[in-house]
Structure 1
Amino acid sequence: MTNEPRPAGVTPPVAVVFASVVFIALSIAALGVVSLVLDADVIPVRGLGAVPGVVGQLVALASFAGQLFWGLRADPPSYLTAVPCAIAAYVGEVGGVVVGALVSGADPARGAAAAGSVALGFAGPVVAAVGLVAGLFGILLVRSRTSGPRWGWEDDDEGDRAA
């Protein structure tokens, strides 16, 4: 075995994957909890089904991940990169709800009403806040210069074991 130093921090593509998982998990959980606390629907427009919400989350996830990947190109990336990630998640959620409503066969007026309720209600700001937190998490992963955990025997040489 060689004693080559491990790379410091996490690579940007890996950080985007981890931050994306955090984003989607926190987004779904936060929307559910806030909906429960406020006793309100995430998308209050009746007759749309689940498709607009699912498509909205997928587009928000893709927008968030793309913006974070773009922002992590700097060395080191700025923590302010999380702000465009939050904006991208918000816009992706609102736009995705419109697309999801149209894909599900709803008329455009219902799709626009659903997008407006997401943009002006609690769902849009919740998704933006989660995008900010998950973006900060991804940036923190790249900026950290620590190595991963290692077992004690990983650093031993062959000669040290015989002694």
Structure 2
Amino acid sequence: MLATVLFLGFAILGLGMLSYFTDADILSVPDLGQYPGVVGMIVAIVVFAAVLTPSVQAARPSYPASVPVALAAALGHLAAVWLAAVAGGAGLATATAAIMQLITGGPTVVIALAAVVAAWIGIALRRTRAQKPQWPWEHSGGDE
């Protein structure tokens, strides 16, 4: 769960920084709207969580498992944007132009990097058997 929230946070931060430093919109295809981008990010989050879950449920999760998680999230994002654009009536050419802009403009790389870092952290938390933090009075000892 924490890794999924981290993925969303890293993706928003990375896409915001990309937009700021390149002084360009993330997705600026005429007649497209915001709907495909929103759907794409929701699908990327769901795919990230779905692919990471079996990886972290292993007895000793492996760090290289973060690479397929990142690829799946990035490809899921692209596929969802394309399908949402076509379903929204944008047409095949506009949907394909949107995908090409995401690939060549850098957002797909940002999403993949955010996913690999968040998956790596999720695997690290699982490998170290990290527990949620507790206040001193939450311990079950009776020495208060």
So what's the TM-score if we normalise by structure 1?
A: 0.80
Match of residue 84, structure 2, among 100, 119, 129: 100
User: Helix, strand or coil for the counterpart of 1:74?
Assistant: coil
What's the RMSD between the two structures over aligned residues? 1.7
Given that 1:55 and 1:99 are in contact with CA atoms closer than 8 Å, whether structure 2 keeps it comes out as: no
Q: Deviations over 1:123-153 (max 9, x none)?
A: 0000000000110111112111344444157
Partners of 2:92 and 2:3 lie apart in 1 by 33
Partners of 2:138 and 2:86 lie apart in 1 by 58
Corresponding residue for 1:156?
141
Partners of 2:138 and 2:85 lie apart in 1 by 56
Structure 1 residue 121: Cα displacement:
2.1
Corresponding residue for 1:68?
52
- In structure 2, the CA distance between the partners of 1:40 and 1:141, relative to structure 1 (3 Å rule), is same
Partners of 1:19 and 1:142 lie apart in 2 by 10
Structure 1 residue 93: Cα displacement:
1.3
Match of residue 83, structure 1, among 67, 71, 78: 67
Given that 1:83 and 1:132 are in contact with CA atoms closer than 8 Å, whether structure 2 keeps it comes out as: yes
Structure 1 residue 30: Cα displacement:
1.1
So what's the TM-score if we normalise by structure 2?
A: 0.90
> Whose radius of gyration is greater, 1 or 2?
1
Report the AA paired with residue 19 of structure 1: A
Structure 1 residue 87: Cα displacement:
0.4
Matched residues, number: 143
- Runs in 1 of length 4+ with deviation above 4 angstroms? none
Structure 1 residue 105: Cα displacement:
1.8
Corresponding residue for 2:12?
28
Unaligned runs of 5+ in 2: none
Report the AA paired with residue 33 of structure 2: G
Residue 107 (structure 2) pairs with residue 123 (structure 1): yes
Corresponding residue for 2:98?
114
Unaligned runs of 5+ in 1: 1-16
